[in-house]
Amino acid sequence: MTRNLPTVRVRAPPADDALPTEPAQLPAPLDAELPPLPTLESFCDDATLNKHVVPGAHGYAFAVAKGNRFRVIDLHGEQIVDFMAWVHDKPFTRLEKMSTAYTRYHLSGVQPAIGECLWTNADRPILRVTADTVKVHDMTFMSCFPDLYKKMGLRGHRSCAQNIFEAMEDFGMKDILEIAEPFNIFQNTPNYSLKRLGSSKPGDYIEFEALQDVVCAVSSCPYDIDGVNGGVITDVGIVIAEKK
């Protein structure tokens, strides 16, 4: 398909050592209905780290096997990452997916604490937060989408919806309207407010454990208007710890 060239400002890729691999923070107490939280060693020492840098204003989709963990890392700070996840059934139907509505129903607060889960539209836990250096995220706003920018006169501007659709084409997605509602990682928009964001610093991350076989998709949000995303769209790191 024809892919629109970005009109956003992006920074150069970071050095290889920009992806931190330090141990996660200690997890919260165990949830009796879920398997035990993984040990810190299972991310770093007893696993192969599969690293990927998502270029600023672009997307990436990746599969994670049940029991493995991964981190979404803000490499430069103040970068929102739209995140979606599907249960990786075989064949992959993309019918069961992470649902912000189901997730909100299950949470003790407005966003998942360490040890809490993201839930699917079949009311099953799909991912559990195992570490989080920011703890400021959003589950209210949709992904930015092509017409949003077109109505502002920014025809051809990249969008999270387009980024995730393009990334998910590799997993069989046929239409941009197939995307899900996002968990907006590092997005600081309490009570629907769209004030200045900027809650994450370089190297901040959130870490998940896959409770099912999953396919995940992320987008480095290209919204570069009014200082959102720090005014400069930057790269995002994905590190998957695959158990040996």
The residues binding Zn ion (CB under 5 A) are: 144, 160, 221, 223
Q: Rounded to the nearest whole angstrom, what is the least distance from the CB of residue 82 to Zn ion in the complex? A: 5
Q: Rounded to the nearest whole angstrom, what is the least distance from the CB of residue 187 to Zn ion in the complex? A: 9
Return the number of the residue (10 or 221) whose C-beta is nearest Zn ion: 221
Q: Rounded to the nearest whole angstrom, what is the least distance from the CB of residue 144 to Zn ion in the complex? A: 3
Ramachandran bin of 67, using left for φ above 0, alpha for ψ from -120 to 50, beta for the remaining angles: left
Type of residue at 12: A
DSSP H/E element including 101: helix 100-106
Q: Which whole-number Å values give the CA distances from 174 to 86, 105, 114, 141, in the listed order? A: 15, 30, 34, 23
Tokens of 183: 């968990």
Beta carbons of 204 and 74 less than 8 angstroms apart? yes
Burial of 149 (0-12, 13-18, 19+ CB in 10 A): buried
Return the number of the residue (207 or 224) whose C-beta is nearest Zn ion: 224
Q: Rounded to the nearest whole angstrom, what is the least distance from the CB of residue 223 to Zn ion in the complex? A: 5
Beta carbons of 61 and 230 less than 8 angstroms apart? no
Q: Rounded to the nearest whole angstrom, what is the least distance from the CB of residue 231 to Zn ion in the complex? A: 14
Task: Report DSSP state, residue 23.
Answer: P
Beta carbons of 19 and 233 less than 8 angstroms apart? no
Return the number of the residue (45 or 226) whose C-beta is nearest Zn ion: 226
Other residues' Cβ atoms within 10 Å of the Cβ of residue 242: 14
Q: Rounded to the nearest whole angstrom, what is the least distance from the CB of residue 159 to Zn ion in the complex? A: 6
Type of residue at 138: D
